[in-house]
Structure 1
Amino acid sequence: MSNTSRSIQQLSKAASIFLISALALAGCAGSPPQSQSNTAASGDITSSAGGTLRVGRMSAVTALDPATQITANNAFAIDKVFESLVSFDADGSIIPWLASEYAISDDGLTYTFTLRDGVKFSDGSELTAEDVVFSLERHKDLGDESPLPLAGPIDSITAQNDTTVIITLSSAYTPLISELANFSNGIYPANFGGKTEEEFFQNPIATGPFVVDQWDPNGDISFVKNENYWQEGKPYIDSLVYKLVPDDTQLQQQLVAGQLDVIDHVPYANVSELESNPSVQVLTNKSWEIEQVFFNTQNEYFADEHVRRAVAHAIDREGIVNAVTFGTATVANSLIPPTIEYSANGEGYALGFDLDTAKAELAKSAYPNGFSATLSIKSGNAALAQEAQIVQQSLAELGITVEIESLEAATFSSKVYGDYNYDFMINSGQSDSADPDGLVSFQADPEGFSKSYWTFYTNDEVTKLLHEGRSTADGEDREKIYFDIQKIMAEQVPYIPLYYTSAVKATTDSVEGLTVLPNGSMLFQDVLLGQ
């Protein structure tokens, strides 16, 4: 979906994993959580509250339906308006949210949620169990039409009374609680409050801290505070504006000039410079993100496993990390980041840099003399451009000619995610929860929405294992399943893991109380703006 200054490399696995086991929990309860933020709000909040927070972002918000979106440009606007039964904090721990408590039966088949008292929608109407049932049923019924489907074996979602929701499963499904924390399971009024679906999501009503004010799908979006928000007195700011600035250099310049209060992307090369600026704060947190090279396995060249293995051996991942990330990231050796349980990063499964082995692999392929291919990246990101150039130079050693195609974000999404019209690309894989199933399913399930992250990678053994991983209780057996998946995928290389990122944001020194989450989103309800 917080701002410790340690790098991912410094985080131990035990400290960074806070996954809740559905079969181990008897129940969980809590009061409204307090944010973990860059600067604790202090003093007279009433006199300090108010103002407009200006946030620079590289992509516009194009849609606000929680159940049908996945990209960060939309997800991190949706989660300011919609909230879910449970959520996660800056450490990745699952926490009660719209539900004040929940309980899981001993057999793992019945989940009972008690709604928090006094929660209202932004129009002042009361949140009821029927609203929750409607929202979750709609999401479930979308099936694989939803990029983040409510995919568990759900028999029923029912309202026991106005404040109690019961989800019944036909078989155990370990990731359920983690999935319910996703923005995709945001709650809205039953029957869309009497509006059509299209009308509703143009100006949605929900329980979150902010309400959409004005929205240009090709530009900026502005929000105002939800006067009926259930956390009393919050949000402290009056309004929030997402300003479109599709270039990371411009983002930094506008922040330093005071034209923006927050930027959601900080170029790795500029972290030290910003940290030395007394008017700027750089905020970092551990991340569920991994930078990767993705192959379209329908492409004639990259359908050949030997070609993919050759490319993987030809790329110096450590060299990329040193050249591009300036110490803000660590080399990736597995699909699952070490911030998520059952990461095999320490096993060293990823193919290492070895040019001789790369040439030998290419010699085994159907294209021993090389070929030409296009590498697609999103424009406006200096690190991506540099990574692409390193890949281009590396593959030239194999006789593979690479043309770099730099595309504006919307065009990239349309070409890659819509038309599958690419050879290979550099992009990031981002988990939306702390359960390993989220990332593995999105990148390895050929039956899912993304068709294995638009690579069309298919392996029957991996498919079998990922289904087993969903139904196996947390512990050694589940760990072995995910280790086996990561080993197979490292050898067949539908992706090349490059590095694990940190979530890095920057603000002016007047911003207090901002929380950075491990999915790359930010919480703004505790933000105060100094004078």
Structure 2
Amino acid sequence: MLLSRSALLPIWHPRGPALLCAAPTEGSTDVTLTSACTSTKTIRRTGVAVLTAGVFVLSGCTSSSTPEREGTAADTTATTAAPTPGGTLTFARTQSPTSLDLHTEITANNAFAIDKIFEPLLSFNAQGEIEPWLASEYSPSEDGLVWTFTLRPGVRFSTGDLVTPEDVVYSLNRHIEVGGPLPLDAPITSIEASGTDTVVITLSEPYTPFIAELAGFSNGILPADLGGVDEATFFKNPVGTGPFVVDEWTEGGDISFTKNVNYWQDGKPYLDELVYKLVQDDNQLVAQLQSRQVDVIDSVASANVATLEGNSSLTVSTTPSWVVEEIFFNTLDEHFADRDVRRAVSYALDREGIVAATSFGTAEVAGSVLPPSVPGYDATIDSLSYDLAGAKASIAASAYPDGFSTKLLVASGNTLRAQEAQIVQAQLAEIGITVEIESIDLAAFRERFRAFDYSFMINSATSDVADPNGIVSFQADPEGGTNGYWTHYNNPEVTALIAQGRTLPDGAERTAVYSEIQATIAGDAPFIPLSYPSNIKASQATVQGLTVLPNGSVRLQDTWLTK
């Protein structure tokens, strides 16, 4: 996602004024924010058609990806027709939900079902900008330690019960207690209800990512005490404020939703029903879309983009993302515990060649664990890019100068990963590393890497918010909930810098800290960033009003179907 390198968030600054953000008008898709919260970003990617707003609301056979002319922003053509309520949207996804507990989950299969059911106090839009959501406004004290949130009047759970400050207090405290892979890391000393519509959160010290964290799906609001039922019962049929309510669900299979008739945005959602259909193979996704068995596919292999764009009955959307495609090393593995081995692999991989061969112009070569759109990204990082002589020198300096044999774990059914794996296999052979590609189904893939039962793998990391702390903590903080994205990477210098970056106000000093973090991680090479891919989705041309967020999720309350 190539936005302006400037910060996208209204971050508190100790020398600046208090920040106050206004709410979106009920029943409107427009959001009116104070100047502190508003910014306009122009997206640029050479050879890639992108949408500034991440929204495609087209009718007929017009493609949603309008190529940019030199010096201009991408155009977005919107239908002038009024939304038509009703209908069922079948949304094909490569991953099915296995749990709807927002405090224990992190992967997209669960997160992008959870965020249709539960909503946080704040959210972010297609440009990554924070906006009020269940809170109509919020503001910090002068010292940035006390944050006051005013709840939007009349918001109800899907049961019809009003959302109260006590529900917010319960929800955030449960998240703190559970922790989970996306913990609420802010140094919160108290969360208190005040009156009928106010929540006050007190911090022990300034914490710059606080507002960004609150906008994540894992800080959605639940009924206090789960409405009086046990956790297992509640999360089988969860109650939230989101646009949809679970209808039928087979864990690991399809899930269907009905509209939340008590949704706080007047008249929405437009759809009566939403079905997430499991389709795990890239080619099957395309086949089912072309045969009209499904209305939307959640991901499009880059090799299939041209084919779909040539079909006048379909719409293809290519929008920016907060995703980094990476190679991950299990640093508990006897070979990849060796820093020189990891550095040798990094030098041996021709990332430009890999991206050119696999992305068909829909991705950019990566050099950092931060996506370019996230504040703090440093394009000058020495990422140990392709240098065969350097690779041979590093492997010679390692404990395995004559090379070794290992296994590369990938999820099956993913065309991109299969191609990447084959290229990695061939290029590492140049330095004496023999790679066996182990391709297994997605569920087993997740089980394996979470159990550290792998040597190295290809996967992706997604920033949940436009703040560098999120994705850096996720991958490099040993206390971050994922054990360094299941690499077991632990560098005390990086850990200390992460802690420092959380407390610094946005500005040059904070940016310098994240540059140092990126440089140190690149030198240690626990991960090798390969590319910054786009979000690519496709739909029937009858589907209107999909809003694609930079984390890959899709807002569906504004979606409707033409006849």
TM-score (norm: length of structure 1): 0.95
Alignment of 1:70-149 (within 5 A): 70-143=106-179, 146-149=180-183
- Asked if residue 364 in structure 1 is aligned to residue 397 in structure 2, the reply is yes
Specify the alignment match of 2:529 in structure 1: 497
Of the three residues 510, 515, 519, the one matched with 1:478 is 510
Q: Counterparts of 2:220 and 2:448 in 1: how far apart (Å)?
A: 28
AA of the residue aligned to 1:38: F
Tell me which protein shows more helix as a share of its residues: 1
- Asked if residue 186 in structure 1 is aligned to residue 217 in structure 2, the reply is no
Q: Counterparts of 2:264 and 2:196 in 1: how far apart (Å)?
A: 17
* Structure 2: unaligned runs, 5 residues or longer: 31-52, 58-77
Q: Counterparts of 1:528 and 1:28 in 2: how far apart (Å)?
A: 29
AA of the residue aligned to 2:311: N
- Asked if residue 284 in structure 1 is aligned to residue 276 in structure 2, the reply is no
Specify the alignment match of 1:384 in structure 2: 417
Of the three residues 5, 12, 17, the one matched with 1:22 is 12
Residues 96-149 of structure 1 show CA distances to partners (whole Å, capped at 9, x for unaligned) of 000000001121101100000110100111011000000001001123xx1100
Query: Does the CA-based 8 Å contact 2:121-2:214 persist in structure 1?
Result: yes
**What SS does structure 2 have at the residue aligned with 1:422?**
coil
AA of the residue aligned to 1:61: P
Specify the alignment match of 1:4 in structure 2: none
Q: Counterparts of 2:410 and 2:279 in 1: how far apart (Å)?
A: 18
Q: Counterparts of 1:166 and 1:195 in 2: how far apart (Å)?
A: 27
Specify the alignment match of 2:455 in structure 1: 423
Specify the alignment match of 2:241 in structure 1: 207
Query: Does the CA-based 8 Å contact 1:41-1:528 persist in structure 2?
Result: no
Q: Counterparts of 2:186 and 2:98 in 1: how far apart (Å)?
A: 28
**What SS does structure 2 have at the residue aligned with 1:29?**
coil
Alignment of 1:249-288 (within 5 A): 249-288=283-322
Q: Counterparts of 2:477 and 2:134 in 1: how far apart (Å)?
A: 31
- Asked if residue 460 in structure 1 is aligned to residue 492 in structure 2, the reply is yes
Q: Counterparts of 2:544 and 2:22 in 1: how far apart (Å)?
A: 28
1:26 Cα deviation after fit: 2.3
Q: Counterparts of 2:119 and 2:480 in 1: how far apart (Å)?
A: 24
Q: Counterparts of 2:251 and 2:525 in 1: how far apart (Å)?
A: 36
Specify the alignment match of 2:64 in structure 1: none
Greater mean alpha carbon deviation, residues 432-441 or residues 271-280? 271-280
**What SS does structure 1 have at the residue aligned with 2:557?**
coil
AA of the residue aligned to 2:432: G
- Asked if residue 411 in structure 1 is aligned to residue 429 in structure 2, the reply is no
**What SS does structure 2 have at the residue aligned with 1:397?**
helix
Q: Counterparts of 1:326 and 1:95 in 2: how far apart (Å)?
A: 34
Q: Counterparts of 1:352 and 1:103 in 2: how far apart (Å)?
A: 44
Specify the alignment match of 2:335 in structure 1: 301
**What SS does structure 2 have at the residue aligned with 1:353?**
coil
Residues 11-49 of structure 1 show CA distances to partners (whole Å, capped at 9, x for unaligned) of 4424xx41221235522222246265211464343xx21
Of the three residues 81, 91, 100, the one matched with 1:43 is 81
Q: Counterparts of 2:9 and 2:427 in 1: how far apart (Å)?
A: 39
- Asked if residue 508 in structure 1 is aligned to residue 546 in structure 2, the reply is no
Q: Counterparts of 1:142 and 1:41 in 2: how far apart (Å)?
A: 44
Q: Counterparts of 2:423 and 2:332 in 1: how far apart (Å)?
A: 24
Query: Does the CA-based 8 Å contact 1:310-1:361 persist in structure 2?
Result: yes
Greater mean alpha carbon deviation, residues 73-82 or residues 103-112? 103-112
Alignment of 1:292-371 (within 5 A): 292-344=326-378, 346-371=379-404
Specify the alignment match of 1:5 in structure 2: none
AA of the residue aligned to 2:101: D
**What SS does structure 2 have at the residue aligned with 1:335?**
coil
* Identical residues among aligned pairs (%): 55
1:60 Cα deviation after fit: 1.2
**What SS does structure 2 have at the residue aligned with 1:67?**
coil
Query: Does the CA-based 8 Å contact 2:381-2:519 persist in structure 1?
Result: no
Residues 444-472 of structure 1 show CA distances to partners (whole Å, capped at 9, x for unaligned) of 01122111111111111101000000111
AA of the residue aligned to 2:169: V
Query: Does the CA-based 8 Å contact 2:381-2:518 persist in structure 1?
Result: no
1:501 Cα deviation after fit: 1.1
Residues 456-496 of structure 1 show CA distances to partners (whole Å, capped at 9, x for unaligned) of 11111101000000111100110010000000111110110
Residues 57-105 of structure 1 show CA distances to partners (whole Å, capped at 9, x for unaligned) of 0111110011110000000000000000000000000000000000011
Q: Counterparts of 1:458 and 1:149 in 2: how far apart (Å)?
A: 18
Specify the alignment match of 2:60 in structure 1: none
Specify the alignment match of 2:550 in structure 1: 518
Query: Does the CA-based 8 Å contact 2:22-2:132 persist in structure 1?
Result: yes
AA of the residue aligned to 2:368: S
Of the three residues 497, 501, 518, the one matched with 1:469 is 501
TM-score (norm: length of structure 2): 0.90
Q: Counterparts of 2:273 and 2:169 in 1: how far apart (Å)?
A: 31
**What SS does structure 2 have at the residue aligned with 1:178?**
helix
1:356 Cα deviation after fit: 1.3
CA gap 1:429/1:43 in 2 versus in 1, 3 angstroms: same
Query: Does the CA-based 8 Å contact 2:121-2:135 persist in structure 1?
Result: yes
Of the three residues 167, 185, 195, the one matched with 1:151 is 185
AA of the residue aligned to 1:43: A
Q: Counterparts of 1:205 and 1:371 in 2: how far apart (Å)?
A: 52
Query: Does the CA-based 8 Å contact 1:87-1:181 persist in structure 2?
Result: yes
- Asked if residue 442 in structure 1 is aligned to residue 442 in structure 2, the reply is no
- Asked if residue 217 in structure 1 is aligned to residue 255 in structure 2, the reply is no
Query: Does the CA-based 8 Å contact 2:89-2:274 persist in structure 1?
Result: yes
* Structure 1: unaligned runs, 5 residues or longer: 1-7
Q: Counterparts of 2:479 and 2:120 in 1: how far apart (Å)?
A: 26
- Asked if residue 63 in structure 1 is aligned to residue 63 in structure 2, the reply is no
AA of the residue aligned to 2:216: N
Residues 384-428 of structure 1 show CA distances to partners (whole Å, capped at 9, x for unaligned) of 0000000000011111110111111110111111x1110000000
Of the three residues 13, 31, 45, the one matched with 2:5 is 13
1:288 Cα deviation after fit: 0.7
Q: Counterparts of 2:369 and 2:99 in 1: how far apart (Å)?
A: 29
Query: Does the CA-based 8 Å contact 2:341-2:398 persist in structure 1?
Result: yes
Q: Counterparts of 2:553 and 2:345 in 1: how far apart (Å)?
A: 33
Query: Does the CA-based 8 Å contact 1:472-1:478 persist in structure 2?
Result: yes
**What SS does structure 2 have at the residue aligned with 1:356?**
helix
**What SS does structure 2 have at the residue aligned with 1:217?**
coil
Q: Counterparts of 1:454 and 1:246 in 2: how far apart (Å)?
A: 23
CA gap 1:239/1:281 in 2 versus in 1, 3 angstroms: same
- Asked if residue 433 in structure 1 is aligned to residue 465 in structure 2, the reply is yes
Residues 332-364 of structure 1 show CA distances to partners (whole Å, capped at 9, x for unaligned) of 1111111100101x2042111011110111000
Q: Counterparts of 1:446 and 1:455 in 2: how far apart (Å)?
A: 10
